[in-house]
Amino acid sequence: MARERLTVPSRGTLFYAQSGGVTAVINATASAVITAARARKLRVLAGRNGILGALREELIDTSHESAATIRALAHTPGGAFGSCRVKLKSLEDDRPKYERMLEVFRAHDVRWFLYNGGNDSADTALKVSRLAAEFGYPLTCIGVPKTVDNDLAVTDTCPGFGSAAKYTAVSVREAALDVIAMADTSTKVFVYEAMGRHAGWLAAAAGLAGRELDEAPHIILFPEREFDQAAFLAQVDATVARVGHCVVVASEGIRTADGRFVADAGGGKDAFGHTQLGGVAAWLAGRVKDALGHKVHWTLPDYLQRSARHLASATDLKQAQAVGKAAVEYALKGMNGTMPVIVRTSDAPYRWTVRPAPLEEIANHEKTMPDGFIREDGFGITDAARRYLEPLIRGEAPPPYGRDGLPKYVRLANRLVPQRLPPAGF
Amino acid sequence: MARERLTVPSRGTLFYAQSGGVTAVINATASAVITAARARKLRVLAGRNGILGALREELIDTSHESAATIRALAHTPGGAFGSCRVKLKSLEDDRPKYERMLEVFRAHDVRWFLYNGGNDSADTALKVSRLAAEFGYPLTCIGVPKTVDNDLAVTDTCPGFGSAAKYTAVSVREAALDVIAMADTSTKVFVYEAMGRHAGWLAAAAGLAGRELDEAPHIILFPEREFDQAAFLAQVDATVARVGHCVVVASEGIRTADGRFVADAGGGKDAFGHTQLGGVAAWLAGRVKDALGHKVHWTLPDYLQRSARHLASATDLKQAQAVGKAAVEYALKGMNGTMPVIVRTSDAPYRWTVRPAPLEEIANHEKTMPDGFIREDGFGITDAARRYLEPLIRGEAPPPYGRDGLPKYVRLANRLVPQRLPPAGF
């Protein structure tokens, strides 16, 4: 790939940062942001490790990256500039941090701040915009949606979710074929642990793997429903008796009636004081083994489910790019304190568009699965859920592969611009 | 798909059965067997749940499946006729079972027996062929190689391995990009558990995800090397200090100096007598957390790694089909007690061919990683290993996808032929 240096006569500087857990398509959003900004002769600085880049004045000069590299970013998973798990507190409690950010922005002539993340990031973008207004510093703050958890308010769906959902549905369908083949003499119960601490969207997406009652997944456990061990085991038992095997998909966030995370029951310390790491799937598998005696296997895909760019949803990819492009447009129009959100205009045929929404309506809210999406017995999804979910995993968008059989993911140079301020110790 | 009934004027009956853990491409072998047999006007009966189908006289009549369905089988993971985990003992100890099999074969005019599996299956095929000879029953027995573990002797590689290897390398590369993005404020160590109870081939394949010393995976743990906890933790610590994060790939079969499986240390019973299921990755993650204090994530892909047909290796697919086709040819030539094996004739360009090998040389042997494939420090692969592994994951062979965004995997009717013998109670 040519590494020509792009010389852009800057009309001002846009700061872009990635936040929270990364996804298969957050870099596609970054790619769209940089492409749109370059077309408008804007300079893009990216935060090294998210908002920490602003606090530490570690600003990546994206103009060092060739057009080919920025295009390749659209098919590269992970967070190309580094992300972070940092939740800033209120303007009062964390005032020095917010002020430092503005200082850094001012020092580098940053006029537009795009923060690509979930509801915490929307909150941060909103607070920065308020402080900038208080200080009379002209800054337009835009939130850009991203999360595999699909739990942002207002937007119909969150970029990153569709690809993780496709990974989940495909993986469960494939593993189920394995279990069906082995069940007669070996594994009868298989448990798949899906991400989703507070909302069961990804677990729900597994429901797309089968259509009939006796097709896998036979049981889905949602954080939106109390986990009842006896009812669960009875359902597993009945399914094995009827179908010969049972595929369970459990959200990592399921809780018992007393509000405790089931995942915590699986961990803790052993008799020697050593940490035992477990999780929901391992724990459920243990209960099935003890109570029913079936041979059981389980999987914890963990990061694989959110970084599987090789199995991205084409719909999700397009939406990730669309919100990136829209974010730059909103920024230049001075639509401070907004986020481009996905609006669904039709289920069949699936149609969507992007519109601006106020960050106030998104920050710190959490969208769980509506009641109408969960089957009455609590163990599966409804037709309404299918109508919502199915378009989101539609279409394939594989990355290019090299002669070595591996996807050609790109790595950026990530060169920092010289610092202009004394270090602030963040 | 049309469901026309194929009327094949039979020249005799071929019995095909799948054995042991299934793979992403064992059905591609089945598809090739059936296609080759149909071209020669042979009838193919398949064992329902492997060799149990023969013992129970549960024989699937594959002529009910259309040509389109048999073609689609080539892109469908799992074991379409059902597999089994049954190891027959010696001819003396399990004589009634072997005799019953011959009885069933005789009752259905089975002249050719193709057993698609690992070294146990090669052993079974060999014993059946010996008993048939003793009884003067004309039966040609052929082993057909299959295993994601890649541990069969004689053959250069085992169909099923290349696709699982590609899944492993791609997944580790993708997850590593996630870890790199998160490491500054969150996960610094990531542990991936690969299948391989006795041989480290799949863990080794993860090594293809990176080329440089500081690229993931930074540490690979092989069952061919003693697990030394102190050395492991020191290596993790040094890697995090140098690179900022550390990706570990551990074979499920690693053992400590006293020969105990590390995986067993992670399980057992808790204080209440409940089963704790753990595994190697969870246990290693716990040790990293306790000893080094880093935030750690881990994954146990389990069945996902061997059923990921969506990420199959084109090389592996071709080889799975080639051994199926060759098996039918060998059968018709009466090459009793053989297995079609893959012979590598050149690394670069990669060239291979199929030749017959005697089952005696394969049955009950186990091929572990050669010393020259493991780096001297025991934590990585050598260039020789790369030269061996890399061609096996080359090329993509995605399944067709439906409008619903899911792979179009086929399900067979699996209709049994009428039984001709009284039940034998197996």
Contact B174 A82 (CB under 8 A): no
Query: Rounded to whole angstroms, how far apart are CA atoms B404 and B237?
Result: 45
Handedness of CA A349, A354, A355, A360 (dihedral sign): positive
Q: Specify the pLDDT at position A12.
A: 85
Q: Which residue has the higher pLDDT, B263 or B387?
A: B387
Structure confidence by residue, pLDDT tens digits, B148-190: 999 999 999 999 999 999 999 999 999 999 999 999 999 999 9
Query: Rounded to whole angstroms, how far apart are CA atoms B10 and B108?
Result: 12
How many helices (H) and strands (E) chain B has is answered by 13, 13
B-chain residues near A404 (CB < 8 A): 208, 390, 393-394
Residues ≥6 apart with Cβ < 8 Å to B130: B91
Closest-CA residue of chain B to A386: B404
Residues ≥6 apart with Cβ < 8 Å to B426: B52, B55, B56, B97, B100
Contact A405 B313 (CB under 8 A): yes
Residue A306 is labelled as binding a ligand: yes
Angle between helices A314-332 and A161-182 (to 10 degrees): 170
Determine the 3-state secondary structure of A44 from DSSP: strand
CB count within 10 Å of CB B261 equals 17
Q: Specify the pLDDT at position A9.
A: 43
Partner residue facing B276 (CB), from A182, A276, A409 = A276
Q: Chain B within 8 Å of A402 (Cβ-Cβ)?
A: no
* CB < 8 Å from B in window 251-270 of A: 266, 270
B-chain residues near A406 (CB < 8 A): 169-170, 173, 208-209, 393
What ranges in A221-345 are assigned the alpha helix state H?
229-243, 262-265, 280-292, 304-307, 314-332
Cβ contact B412:B70 at 8 Å: no
Sheet with A246-251, edge to edge strand ranges: A219-221, A246-251, A189-194, A296-299
Strand partners, A130: none
Query: Rounded to whole angstroms, how far apart are CA atoms A168 and A319?
Result: 19
Q: Chain B within 8 Å of A91 (Cβ-Cβ)?
A: no
Q: Chain A within 8 Å of B214 (Cβ-Cβ)?
A: no
Structure confidence by residue, pLDDT tens digits, B351-386: 999 999 999 999 989 999 999 999 999 999 999 999
Q: Specify the pLDDT at position B364.
A: 85
Q: Chain B within 8 Å of A163 (Cβ-Cβ)?
A: no
Query: Rounded to whole angstroms, how far apart are CA atoms B422 and A348?
Result: 55
**In the predicted model, is pLDDT for residue A43 greater than 90?**
yes
**A:B CB pairs within 8 Å:** 247
Whether the upstream peptide bond of residue B400 has omega within 30° of 0, thus cis, is: no
Query: Rounded to whole angstroms, how far apart are CA atoms B78 and B194?
Result: 18
Query: Rounded to whole angstroms, how far apart are CA atoms B181 and A320?
Result: 18
Question: Within its chain, how far is the Cα of A270 from the centroid?
Answer: 33
Confidence band (pLDDT; 50, 70, 90) for B2?
Answer: very low
What ranges in A137-253 are assigned the alpha helix state H?
161-182, 201-206, 229-243
Structure confidence by residue, pLDDT tens digits, A156-177: 999 999 999 999 999 999 999 9
For chain A, how big is the Rg over CA atoms in Å?
23
Structure confidence by residue, pLDDT tens digits, A170-218: 999 999 999 999 999 999 999 999 999 899 999 999 999 999 989 999 9
Cβ contact B405:A169 at 8 Å: yes
For chain B, how big is the Rg over CA atoms in Å?
23
CATH code of the domain occupying B161-305: 3.40.50.460
Q: What architecture is the A161-306 domain classified under in CATH?
A: 3-Layer(aba) Sandwich (3.40)
Catalytic residues of B: 149
DSSP state of A311: G
**In the predicted model, is pLDDT for residue B75 greater than 90?**
yes
DSSP state of A151: -
* A65-86 average pLDDT score: 97
Largest CA distance in chain B: 72
Q: Are β-strands B140-145 and B189-194 bridged in parallel, bridged antiparallel, or unpaired?
A: unpaired
Q: Specify the pLDDT at position B266.
A: 64
Partner residue facing B178 (CB), from A77, A170, A398 = A77
- From the CA of B22, how many Å to the nearest CA of chain A? 6
CB count within 10 Å of CB A145 equals 30
Residues ≥6 apart with Cβ < 8 Å to A230: none
User: Which of A59, A116, A91 lies closest to A417 in space, CA to CA?
Assistant: A59
Structure confidence by residue, pLDDT tens digits, B311-328: 999 999 999 999 999 999
Q: Are β-strands A110-117 and A13-18 bridged in parallel, bridged antiparallel, or unpaired?
A: parallel
* B394-419 average pLDDT score: 97
* CB < 8 Å from A in window 289-308 of B: 289-290, 296-304, 306-308
Domain residue limits, chain B: 161-305
Determine the 3-state secondary structure of A351 from DSSP: strand
Phi-psi label, residue A50: left if phi above 0, alpha if psi -120 to 50, beta otherwise: left
Contact B84 A403 (CB under 8 A): no
Partner residue facing B307 (CB), from A175, A271, A302 = A175
* B20: its two tokens: 């042991």
**Residue that is written with structure tokens 């299959």 in the block:** B146
**Residue that is written with structure tokens 């929270």 in the block:** A20
Residue A49 is labelled as binding a ligand: no
Strand partners, B396: B313
Q: Specify the pLDDT at position A267.
A: 65
Point out the annotated binding site of B.
21, 119, 147-149, 195-197, 252, 303-306
Q: Chain B within 8 Å of A310 (Cβ-Cβ)?
A: yes
Structure confidence by residue, pLDDT tens digits, B223-267: 999 999 999 999 999 999 999 999 999 999 999 999 999 988 766
Residues ≥6 apart with Cβ < 8 Å to A58: A47, A48, A49, A52, A416
**In the predicted model, is pLDDT for residue A7 greater than 70?**
no
Query: Rounded to whole angstroms, how far apart are CA atoms B257 and B282?
Result: 20
Q: Return mean pLDDT, chain B.
A: 94
User: Which of B347, B321, B298, B3 lies closest to B172 in space, CA to CA?
Assistant: B298
* B10: its two tokens: 């039979």
Partner residue facing A302 (CB), from B276, B299, B310 = B299
* A91: its two tokens: 């303007």
Partner residue facing A84 (CB), from B184, B315, B395 = B184
Cβ contact A176:A247 at 8 Å: yes
For chain B, percent of residues with pLDDT exceeding 70: 96
Contact B307 A271 (CB under 8 A): no
Helix (H) / strand (E) element for A189: namely strand A189-194
Closest-CA residue of chain A to B400: A396
